[in-house]
Structure 1
Amino acid sequence: MALTSTQHDATILIVDDAPENLVLMSNLLKDLYHLKVANSGAKALALINSSTELPDLILLDIMMPGLSGYDVASALQGDERTAAIPIIFLTAMASTDDETRGFELGAVDYITKPISPPITLARIDTHLKLKAAADFLRDKNDYLEQEVARRTREVTAIQDVTIHAMASLAETRDNETGNHIRRTQNYVKLLAEHLQEHPRFSHFLTDQNIQLLFKSAPLHDIGKVGIPDRILLKPGRYTPEEFEIMKSHTRLGRDAIQHAEDQLGVDVDFLRFAKEIAYGHQEKWDGSGYPEGLVGDAIPISARLMAVADVYDALVSRRVYKMPVTHEDAVAHINKGRGTHFDPDICDAFLACQARFQTIAAQYVDTDADLAKETEALQFIADEP
């Protein structure tokens, strides 16, 4: 972007009720600028309002019948479309009060009649250059703001694609479905929004963090990609040895995300919550969970939210190896775990939002096609030697 020459390219509007003044100013400026003229304030405003191309500068007489120059200036300054047009008053009114009022109305200069042609030309040229510089900076700022917005959208899209790609990778090996991912992330968001004003959580549950939690939730079971199929897809109960292996998915998930972060060489906010959720969503409020056996507030808030979302979805979802429990039974189960499995306040938030949980579950219900994938996976395990 480069500044253009002010001469010949600029358009100046001359507003004066005296024909001789219009002729004088037109003769002075016609070889240097594109000119428009109006012999009254009303005609000047009508000309501007009907034009798609605005003048670059206005030379405005003050004492005119009907609308005065002050009235015209006030109208132009009050309109966002015309507020940036520089106005130079041309008038025989030369008192300090007159000049002060003109500047208060947004004029950039004040030239008294009879005019001095060299001074008038110099002032016009100066203010056109200033306007060109201001327009350049405004256009540059607009461009930069648009570029920042575009790149922010790109970064956000990359984050979303990365998360969904990683989550889909886990989904291909798990007996859960893609709808499980969508349901649980919406459950987490619902709980977080409900608790946003709660004194225990308000410092953490900012709008930005809630958005990051929503994005990160799909990675809660990413570590299952490291669990052998014979265990991951087993429809019955695990042996103690199998369960120990299954429990390692929390560490595997956290470490996989950490490895990705290490490769980038920087800490990434949206992955921080993903690590917390992957590693801690099997912890229990009373310390009986895994992998660390953390107690109470030592468990990250993100993981506590995920724990409620994950258990509810596991209960109400249909699988090829189990039937779902009713919503009411799932609510009773989670309420029973208040203060043992679940953070009491998060449990209370769930109870308050339970009807909306049920709505989300219905919106993203698993279809027969979704469950057919599980059947194929389980058959694969049955056919293994």
Structure 2
Amino acid sequence: MKVLVLDDVELNNVLMAEALKGVPECTPVAFTSPDKALAYLTESAAEVGVAMVDFEMPRMNGIEFIRAARKLDGFAHVPVVMVTSSDQRSLRREALEAGATDFVGKPFDPVEIRARVGNLLALNQARVSEADRAAWLSREVAAAVAVIEARERELVERLVRAIEHRDTDTGEHVWRVAQYAKLMAEELGCEPDWCRQLGLASTMHDIGKIAVPDSILLKQGPLTPEERVLISRHAERGYEILKESSSDLIRLAADIAVSHHERWDGGGYPNGLARTDIPLAGRIVAVADVFDALTSDRPYKKAWPVRTARQYLVENAGTQFDPACVDAFLASWPKVLRIAAHEAPPRAA
């Protein structure tokens, strides 16, 4: 490990280098110019284990040097020993505030120098080793999380495939709903990780339809009041399927499943929630789900033109939909049109 030695008097640097010879694995790098020492640290701060800095130097004293050095990448935690003949408490306090770690008096004792530098080098090496271990642990955690997330994505895809066997339009529908939901969440300023989770969780918003009979799910024409009651139960059934999971993603999907048919004015189902009592994820997916349903062919209706569906959202903002979610949807309109014009991308086998 290198020890930076800075003193404007060359002889002092020679004496310091001589004193450091007894420190194991220590290579002194001496400078008489603070500017050159800073230039060296700019390129090689990671190689320096300790810095020995004189206080009294022309143009830039030791305290000023420490302040400048502490701003450099990789030098914030390197021990710095100030070498000074002054014992003024105010000077030492100022040096500590600037980032000095320790002090050595002039003329210095070579035995003291070796002991202090040896201890500080060991301390710095322990810090570096701990930082390396923390970085390794961070990489390991990230890798483990990636595996868990991949498994969760596979679980979600398989659940959605189960619904697709009941309704051939579902695959395209859930893909578009996911894209719309992410757009709105991003426009609302939600955290990027949450936006991604929302997009994936939203694909399970109709998971409860797996319990709806084909005679109702695929019926040509309007539903009877009794059939509407039966199909409306898919929100609660979806929640029952997904609730109480240990996965944040699945719990988010459960919230969406049970709340995406609630209305801003309290007239929705299954719980009659209103305004912000409805989870944000449910309020977002409500807009995405209705817009895509309106602009898609269904067994009971033909697709609406996108501008007609847009007008429906505008007219029902503040009653059926959260106005902020509608505003976020419309703010992303060019992207909405691109999504609406494309089917879901092909799924990997």
TM bucket normalised to smaller: 0.7 to 0.9
Task: Determine if the alignment matches structure 1 residue 312 to structure 2 residue 303.
Answer: no
Shift of 1:170: 1.4
Instruction: Mark the CA change 1:13 to 1:338 in structure 2 (over 3 Å): closer, same or farther.
Output: closer
Secondary structure of 2:74's counterpart equals coil
Q: How does 1:197-276 map to 2 (within 5 A)?
A: 212-238=197-223, 246-258=231-243, 261=244, 266=246, 268-276=247-255
Shift of 1:95: 3.6
Q: How does 1:1-385 map to 2 (within 5 A)?
A: 10-32=1-23, 33-51=26-44, 54-189=47-182, 212-238=197-223, 246-258=231-243, 261=244, 266=246, 268-282=247-261, 292=270, 294=272, 296=274, 300-301=278-279, 302-318=281-297, 323-333=302-312, 342-343=319-320, 346=322, 350=326, 353-354=329-330, 356=332, 359-366=335-342
Instruction: Mark the CA change 1:286 to 1:132 in structure 2 (over 3 Å): closer, same or farther.
Output: closer
Which runs of 5 or more structure 2 residues have no equivalent in the other structure? none
Is the 2:7–2:57 contact (alpha carbons within 8 Å) kept by the matching residues of 1? yes
Quick one: distance in 2 between partners of 1:359 and 1:53?
46
Shift of 1:176: 1.6
Quick one: distance in 1 between partners of 2:299 and 2:27?
79
Report how many residues are paired: 343
Is the 1:16–1:64 contact (alpha carbons within 8 Å) kept by the matching residues of 2? yes
Instruction: Mark the CA change 1:249 to 1:17 in structure 2 (over 3 Å): closer, same or farther.
Output: closer
Is the 2:54–2:62 contact (alpha carbons within 8 Å) kept by the matching residues of 1? yes
Is the 1:191–1:346 contact (alpha carbons within 8 Å) kept by the matching residues of 2? no
Give the alignment's TM-score, normalised by structure 2.
0.76
User: Residue type matched to 2:336 in 1?
Assistant: I
Shift of 1:257: 1.8
In structure 2, the residue matched to 1:383 is none
Quick one: distance in 2 between partners of 1:234 and 1:365?
26
Give the alignment's TM-score, normalised by structure 1.
0.70
Q: Which structure's CA Rg is the greater one?
A: 1
Could you report, residue by residue, the CA deviation over 1:43-97 in whole angstroms, capped at 9, with x for unpaired residues? Answer: 4334434547532112223334454434433321232332332222233334444
Between 228-237 and 179-188, report the one with greater CA deviation.
Answer: 228-237
Is the 1:253–1:275 contact (alpha carbons within 8 Å) kept by the matching residues of 2? yes
Quick one: distance in 2 between partners of 1:70 and 1:338?
62
Quick one: distance in 2 between partners of 1:38 and 1:355?
59
The percentage of aligned residue pairs carrying the same residue is: 30
Is the 1:276–1:300 contact (alpha carbons within 8 Å) kept by the matching residues of 2? no
Is the 1:318–1:366 contact (alpha carbons within 8 Å) kept by the matching residues of 2? no
Is the 2:184–2:325 contact (alpha carbons within 8 Å) kept by the matching residues of 1? yes
Instruction: Mark the CA change 1:21 to 1:178 in structure 2 (over 3 Å): closer, same or farther.
Output: same
Instruction: Mark the CA change 1:100 to 1:254 in structure 2 (over 3 Å): closer, same or farther.
Output: closer
Shift of 1:296: 4.5
Instruction: Mark the CA change 1:94 to 1:270 in structure 2 (over 3 Å): closer, same or farther.
Output: same
Quick one: distance in 2 between partners of 1:101 and 1:286?
63
Secondary structure of 1:173's counterpart equals coil
